[in-house]
Structure 1
């Protein structure tokens, strides 16, 4: 069986690696010319995502990944703060958590290596269709069409493959604009280093202002102590943060800014909403060139709404189907799980087993369930942030957070 994969993100590369490992004829096409030149900062892989990854790559690739990843079990418990930086509560105990955080660049480079020569960079797909015999094809802007037994769209939130299948967009703006950046822990004041600790956390204030803080240390908190295999982009304790504001004309205007100008505008935006000055160190002392803006998009949380097309020889996976805001930290992991699931179903094709279309139908049924689950989790935080962006929501947030902070102090 020949399979063409459109998109060389995490899900597409995972699928390509798995197909190559199983002996399928495969080609993965991506418009990028350098897999290391990718957006994003870090990816969380829970136990399910790691198990799926072990199905698609060789053990040595997994070892290199873990040697370059930060173990969640070595972090402090996650925290929740208010806009003054007061502690409101903690997340669950992570001491038994098998999850890891890894730089997106590191993961993509490892997966690309596993795909090998079957990865075709610098190839921009312009569409998909079927020839007169019903054979699926991928069309390109700068090359002749390519045909296959199966075409898989792994081309992200704005997927042309999924749009072709669904007859329109498969997701919509979620109502939030995100801003992300990187800040070295050593660049913060001693007080902020102590407050933030070696943990991830979330602070939510009135009027839809929120700040996620992710802690990444692939050296000090390495998941596998094998320095000779390490290839992490992050080499010291670093906070990977994400600021959130509801979409509006004022917020959208920030998307046109870059680097230090965007960084300064974000600090002003939080300051105008009454955030304590010390909580803004994280933004003010970030690497200016790491600061970027992006829109949150989300598919429906209803599983029945996902992949709303009859199964056939063209399908899609990952964000192309279940575009997920980053608020659950599960989007990339879900795409890897999709890839592993599709591989398992394709293994059943032939020799009296399932037909390719039957395999795709079974895969899409499971993908709908997975997608609905992660979207439900991700949208909880989105709805929380949006709920504070009203007169009543802002007043409730301002009134309740001091009470929660006082209760947290009593518990300590």
Structure 2
């Protein structure tokens, strides 16, 4: 059986690696010419995603991943804070967690290596359809045509494959524009390092301004102490942050800015919202070259709305089906789980004759999985948007001091002060 995978993101590469390892004939096509030319947040992989990866790639690849990743169990407990820097609460105890954080570039590179010569970069698919013999096929920008027994769209939120299947876009803007960047911990003041600590933090203020600060240390907090195996592009403690504002003409105009100009505009915007200066140090001391903007897109949180097409020999997975905002850190992990699930179904019903039934079983579970991660991610999105209303802004201003006071009373004496 020949499988064509359209898209070399996390889900597409994971599927390609699994198919290759399982002895299937596979070709993964991606429009990018350089697999490392990718931005975005760092990626969180929970126990379920890691278990799925173990079914897709060789043990040595998993070891390299763990040696390149930051273990959540080794960092301080996460915090929630307000625009004045007051700690409002703490996240769950992660000391027993097997979850990891890893750079997107690192994970994508490791998976691309696992796909090997079956990865074909610089090949943009512009059309998907069915040939005269009923076999699915893809058409490239240069007019070339490739047929297969199964075509899988792993081509992200603007998926050509999913749009062909659904007859319409499979997602819509979530109402938030995000801005991301990286700041080395060593570039902060001593006070800033103490406030942020070795943990992730989420801050929300009135009028829809929010700031996520993720902590990544794949050296000091490596999930596997094997530096000779590390492929991480991050070589020291780093904060990878995401600023968020409700989508509007004014926010949209920031997307036209780049580098230091965008960085300065973001700082000005937070200051207009009366954020305390010390909460902004992580933005002010970021590498300007790494500051970028992107729109949050989201599919429906209803399982019945996802993959709204009959099962056949063309399908899709990951963000192509369940486009997920980064606010729950679950989108990439869900794509990996999609890939492992599809491979398992294809192996259970081998041969071209069983493809449609295998795809139907896969899509049924993918709908449930997609709805789960979208529901989690949209909770934070809706909370941010709620603060951009008059009642929401008033409630935020009134409740934050009360929550901060209650948290101070519960805080152990040795706890850090927070952002």
TM-score bin (small chain): over 0.9
1:218 aligns with 2:215: no
Q: Structure 1: how far apart are the matches of 2:27 and 2:303?
A: 29
DSSP-derived class of the 1:333 partner = helix
User: How far off is 1:41 after superposition?
Assistant: 3.4
Contact persistence 1:348–1:354 (CA under 8 A) = no
RMSD (Å) for aligned C-alpha atoms: 1.0
> Residue 106 of structure 1 corresponds to which residue in structure 2?
106
* Runs of 4+ in structure 1 over 6 Å off: none
Q: Structure 2: how far apart are the matches of 1:329 and 1:349?
A: 32
> Residue 55 of structure 1 corresponds to which residue in structure 2?
55
Give CA deviations for 1:28-75 in whole Å, capped at 9, x if unaligned: 000111111111231000000000000000000000000000000001
Change (3 A) 1:355 1:184: same
Q: Structure 1: how far apart are the matches of 2:143 and 2:238?
A: 42
> Residue 22 of structure 1 corresponds to which residue in structure 2?
22
Contact persistence 1:43–1:102 (CA under 8 A) = yes
Q: Structure 2: how far apart are the matches of 1:363 and 1:372?
A: 14
User: How far off is 1:262 after superposition?
Assistant: 0.3
1:365 aligns with 2:364: yes
> Residue 289 of structure 1 corresponds to which residue in structure 2?
289
TM-score, normalised to structure 1, is 0.99
> Residue 118 of structure 1 corresponds to which residue in structure 2?
118
Q: Structure 2: how far apart are the matches of 1:286 and 1:215?
A: 14
> Residue 395 of structure 2 corresponds to which residue in structure 1?
396
Contact persistence 1:201–1:213 (CA under 8 A) = yes
TM-score, normalised to structure 2, is 0.97
Give CA deviations for 1:247-296 in whole Å, capped at 9, x if unaligned: 01110000000000000000000000000011111111000011000000
Within-5 A mapping of 1:35-114: 35-114=35-114
- Aligned pairs, number: 411
Deviates more, 1:57-66 or 1:31-40: 31-40
1:409 aligns with 2:404: no
Q: Structure 2: how far apart are the matches of 1:3 and 1:349?
A: 14
> Residue 269 of structure 2 corresponds to which residue in structure 1?
269
1:147 aligns with 2:153: no
> Residue 305 of structure 1 corresponds to which residue in structure 2?
305
Q: Structure 2: how far apart are the matches of 1:103 and 1:262?
A: 23
User: How far off is 1:349 after superposition?
Assistant: 2.0
> Residue 156 of structure 2 corresponds to which residue in structure 1?
156
1:322 aligns with 2:322: yes
Q: Structure 1: how far apart are the matches of 2:86 and 2:186?
A: 21
Give CA deviations for 1:134-179 in whole Å, capped at 9, x if unaligned: 1100000114100000000000000010000000000000000000
Within-5 A mapping of 1:156-305: 156-305=156-305
Q: Structure 1: how far apart are the matches of 2:192 and 2:264?
A: 19
Contact persistence 1:214–1:241 (CA under 8 A) = yes
Q: Structure 2: how far apart are the matches of 1:262 and 1:78?
A: 28
User: How far off is 1:355 after superposition?
Assistant: 1.4
Contact persistence 1:200–1:215 (CA under 8 A) = yes
DSSP-derived class of the 1:207 partner = helix
Within-5 A mapping of 1:373-384: 373-384=372-383
Q: Structure 2: how far apart are the matches of 1:272 and 1:189?
A: 23
